[in-house]
Chain A
């Protein structure tokens, strides 16, 4: 059975801290690993990772994929209160099927 497991389930940090969110996966027909940020509305796309070992960066966020060990991490440096959200990891199975983890709820307190 396919699985996408995120840890921790929730995390509370202070502004300025650095956080690392984890995602492990076991899925059939794996194509890529995606990260989304979900506040009160739609998941917002952050990164898509297809190749191992290549870090993707966007401002204070970065992510990397390890296809041998079947996991990915999402790093956020110098966290801000606006980073508070649920971070969803999803595996793309085949061409169109996104299989999501249950997310990590990040709370950044001032």
Chain B
């Protein structure tokens, strides 16, 4: 059973056209993360929510924003996608504290035309 679900699996958008990626979880974890993984590179943390508290990484571009309307859902909004934003976007969840591993969704592969 899928526990961290990302939709869609593949997303194509036009240069500059806003796009939203979604993530939902059935684990009731209180921390949710968004990573960007470009081809042949390591996943890179963009931001995470600890409950409703938003934590942005210092080098995450302003073009990237996130929303977490409730425990189960988290969205990644890219306001004006550029060609360099083409990547796999991974959502992950974990339980805060106690050194718990993060559990990943299957990712959304974003292409920019």
Q: Which of B10-65 contact A (CB under 8 A)?
A: 31, 33, 40-45, 48, 50, 55
What is the interface size of chain A, counting residues whose CB is below 8 A from a CB of the partner? 23
Q: Which of A45, A48, A103 contacts B42 (CB 8 A)?
A: A103
With A31-B99, A32-B99, A43-B43 already in contact, the answer to whether A96 and B55 are too (CB < 8 A) is: yes
Would you call B96 and A100 a contact (CB within 8 A)?
no
Would you call A34 and B101 a contact (CB within 8 A)?
yes
Complex: A97 Cα to B34 Cα, angstroms: 11
Q: For the complex of A and B, list the 7 residue pairs with the smallest distance between their C-beta atoms, beginning with the closest.
A: A100-B42, A42-B104, A41-B106, A42-B106, A45-B101, A102-B42, A43-B104
Complex: A32 Cα to B94 Cα, angstroms: 14
Would you call A100 and B99 a contact (CB within 8 A)?
no
Residue pairs across A and B with CB atoms within 8 Å: the count is 54
Interface residues of B (CB under 8 A from A): 4, 31, 33, 40-45, 48, 50, 55, 90, 92, 94, 96-97, 99, 101-107
Which A residues are in CB contact (< 8 Å) with B55?
Answer: 96
Interface residues of A (CB under 8 A from B): 4, 31-32, 34, 36, 41-45, 48, 50, 88, 92, 95-103
Complex: A48 Cα to B41 Cα, angstroms: 21
With A42-B105, A42-B106, A96-B48 already in contact, the answer to whether A102 and B99 are too (CB < 8 A) is: no
Which A residues are in CB contact (< 8 Å) with B4?
Answer: 42
Name the residue in A36, A41, A45, A103 with the highest tally of chain B Cβ atoms < 10 Å from its Cβ.
A41
Complex: A31 Cα to B97 Cα, angstroms: 11
Would you call A96 and B41 a contact (CB within 8 A)?
no
Complex: A31 Cα to B96 Cα, angstroms: 13
Q: Which of B40, B43, B107 contacts A88 (CB 8 A)?
A: B43
Would you call B103 and A45 a contact (CB within 8 A)?
yes
